[in-house]
Homo-oligomer: A and B are copies of this chain.
Amino acid sequence: MQSKLNTEVNIRIAIFDDNEAIRNSLFQLLNYTPGLEVVAMFDNCVNATKKIDEYLPRVVLMDINMPDCSGIDAVKEIKSAFPTIDIIMFTVFEEENKIFEALQAGATGYLLKSTQPIKIIEAIQDIIAGGAPMTAAIARKVMQFFNNQIKQQHNKDVLTSREQDVLKSLIEGYSYKMIAAHLHISIETVRTYIKRIYDKMHVNSMTEAVAKAIKERWFN
C-alpha cells in the first residue's frame, strides 16, 4: 500500500460532531467515496490536538456547536499544532460572527449542514487542491467584509496631501521631530498640520487619530 502513487492514497478525514446521526451519514457519504477515507470521528473536541495526533487526518470536518468545547477553539489548537491540516467548518447556521471567528481561527472552508452531499465531497477535493470551499452566501459575507471597509473613505479626502503625509507618519509611530526631519519641514509646521488634522478628524490626541485612521483603514 505504501508504494502506491500519492494520487491513489486516500484523503484521511476526521469528523468532529456531537450528533451521531450526522457523524454516521457523513461516514457513509465520505467513506464510500473513492479517494476519501474517514479515519476518525469524535462527538466532542476536548483534547482535539491529541486526537488529531493519533489519527493524522489531512482534512478535518468540524462542527461549531459541541458540548463541553468550542469548535472554534479546537480549530485554533489544531492549526497551531498542525498548520498543514485543512479544516472545514460544518454547521447548521450561518452566524456572521461565527464565520469570521472560524476563518480567523484558521478554518479554510465553511459549509452549512444543509449542503448537498455531493457538494461536501467536492469541498473536500477542493480544499486538497488548494481551494477554500464555502457556500455562495458565506463567500458573499466574506466579500462584504472587504466592502465594508471602504464605506466612509471620504473622510480621508478632507485631509490635504501634506496632512495625509503627516497622519501616515503618525501611524508609523514617528514623533513630531522625526516627522519634521522626514518631511523636511519645521517641527512647527508639523504641529500646525497636526492641529488641523485633529480638527478635521474630531479627535484630540495622536492616539485617537492613529486608532481612527487605522481602524477605518484610511490608508493601506
A residues lining the B interface (CB < 8 Å): 76, 100, 103-106, 108, 126, 129-137, 139-140, 142-143, 146-147, 149-150, 170-173, 175, 203, 205-208, 210-212, 214-215
Contact = CB atoms under 8 A, between A and B. Distances in A.
8 contacts: A103-B146, A104-B150, A106-B147, A106-B150, A133-B139, A170-B207, A173-B212, A206-B207
Contacts of A76: 150
A215 to B, nearest CB: 6
Provide the main secondary structure of the chain A interface: helix
A199 B206 CA distance: 20
Count the copies: 2
Contact of A140 (B132, B175, B212): B132
Given A175-B205, A207-B210, A210-B207, A136 B133 contact: yes
A76 B146 CA distance: 13
B205 A173 contact: yes
